Every structure is written in C-alpha cells, then in structure tokens.
Amino acid sequence: MSGPQVHAMRLGTRSRIAIALTSLIGIIAFAWPLLASPESAVVAHSNDAPWLFAIIVPLLMLVLLAELSDGGMDAKSIALLGVMAAVIAALRPLGGGIAGLEPIWMVLILGGRALGPGFGFSLGAISLFASALLTGGVGPWLPFQMLGAAWVGLGAGLLPRATGKRELALLAGYGAVVSLLYGMLLNLWFWPFVSGLPDQIAFAAGAPLGENFLHWFRFTIVTSLGYDIPRAILTVVLILIAGKPVLLALRRVSRKAAFEPAITFVPGTTSA
C-alpha cells in the first residue's frame, strides 16, 4: 500500500522557518491568557480576532511563498491543494453541529500523510478558511480553527514511516488523539472569558499554570467531550475503511504529477 514517499510540497529551510514562525504566533494566541498576570487587561478574543486575521493570514501566505522559493511547490501542487481544500470545504457542512461528526479530518490526515507535512499544514489552514466562507462560519474562532487544522495536517505528515496495516493503525491512532486534542485546544480560545462557571472549571487569573490547566481539562470533559469522542470515533472508522484506497490514490497522483525533482545522473569515472 505504501510506495516511495512523494511529497507534493517539500519542506525547505524557508518553509520550516515560516511554519515555525506561524506556529509560534499561534501558540501565543492560544496560551497568552494562561500566562498573563492578573493585572493585565485580559479581554475576550472577539476583540483581538481582527488582529489575529491580520497576522495569521499573511503568515500563511508566507508559508506558501516560502514553498515556492524553496522549489517545493509548483502549479500542479497548488492545483491539488485547491482541489483537496474544496473537498474538505464541501464535506464540512455534512457534519456541522451533529455531535462532532466531521468527516473532514480523515481527508486532512490522509492528505498530510500522503503528500507531506508542508502540504498538510497548508491544506488544514486553507480548507478551514474556505469552509468558513462557504458556510458563513467566519467569526473570532476561525483563526484558531485554521491553526488547529494546520497542526493536524502537519503532524500527519511528520508521522514515522510505516506500511500496510501498521500504517493504517498508526493513522487511526493519530486521528483519535488529535480529534480529542483539537476539541480541547479550541476550548482555549474562549474558556478564559466565560463567566459564571463553577470554581472547579473556571479560569483563575494569576493562578499557577498547573491549576488552570486542570480547570481547562475539567471544562473540556464537562462541556465538549460529547463532541470530541464522536469526532474521534468517526475519524478512526473512516481511516480504517477508506484509508488504503485514498492513500493509494493520493500517492498515485503524486507520482504521476512528478512532484519530486527529476533524478539526474552525473557521469562518473571508471577504473581500468
């Protein structure tokens, strides 16, 4: 099932720096309430979402430009990125609001696995942005959804090599874990600003990081685990059922499109 690994977007030096910079900004955007002092003017993310858009979207463009300058992207990989982003954007409304049943994560994980971490990162961010435009889901949560999906696709491309049933098991396990972590991470964009919560699950400004992390974990169990578990189950089932043919198709497309640079042979010297 697994042939030579062919990546539609290779990670060069500039690409790695761009992804690292974008991820660093994303981590700060998610985690700053946990690290802010009680005296700081902590306001809801709904107020700083325009600033996040203004920062994150250019950084995502920087990732694509870095891929172009590194020679890791061409017209064929851009076209494939657009097609897969459109597929995810079309699939997302099918599970919107129904107990977390979202088939898009199977496509994103398999795309990142078959086509590489750079492709997975870009696919996650672009597809969530496109689906938000399609469904009218643009709001203060969107930059965080884009970053979370980008990290899911990136991680899928960075998984260790495996073949056959072992590869499917690896991807299914990864899908289950990131489905749960994605829900927990997305809670962080609004949880510190929810008022009226019991002390056991409420954000406590200035409290030790470990205490707030425990409250955040409890909040996830109480409020979103009912969505995260079905998301994880559906992702695992879809990967186990459709993972083999989808991976074969994506890898076949990659080989036929010849994303990797052509191999050249340098004449050598022969001994007498």
Q: What is the pLDDT of residues 210-241, one digit of tens each?
A: 898 999 999 999 998 888 999 999 999 999 99
Q: Whole-number mean pLDDT of the chain?
A: 82
One-letter amino acid for residue 213 of the chain: F
The mean-pLDDT minimum among 106-120, 223-237, 258-272 falls in 258-272
By the 8 A CB rule, do 239 and 171 touch? yes
For the stretch 144-184, pLDDT in tens is 899 999 999 999 999 999 989 999 999 999 999 999 999 99
For the stretch 29-86, pLDDT in tens is 888 877 766 555 554 555 555 667 777 778 777 777 777 666 666 677 788 888 999 9
pTM recorded for the entire structure: 0.84
pLDDT of residue 61: 75
Measure the N-to-C terminal CA separation of the chain; round to a whole number of Å. 44
Confidence of residue 105 (pLDDT cuts 50, 70, 90): very high
**The three-state (H, E, C) secondary structure of the chain, written as one string:** CCCCCCCCCCCCHHHHHHHHHHHHHHHHHHHHHHHCCCCCCCCCHHHHHHHHHHHHHHHHHHHHHHHHHHCCCCHHHHHHHHHHHHHHHHHHHHHCCCCCCCCHHHHHHHHHHHHCHHHHHHHHHHHHHHHHHHHCCCCCCHHHHHHHHHHHHHHHHHCCCCCHHHHHHHHHHHHHHHHHHHHHHHHCCCHHHCCCCCCCCCCCCCCCHHHHHHHHHHHHHHHCHHHHHHHHHHHHHHHHHHHHHHHHHHHHHHHHHCCCCCCCCCCCCCCC
- What's the whole-number mean pLDDT along residues 122-151? 87
pLDDT of residue 262: 46
Distance CA 170, CA 76 (A): 29
Confidence of residue 268 (pLDDT cuts 50, 70, 90): low
The yes or no reply on domain 13-37+47-257 and CATH 3.40.50.10610 is: no
pLDDT at 141 over 80: yes
Domain boundaries of the chain, sorted by first residue: 13-37+47-257
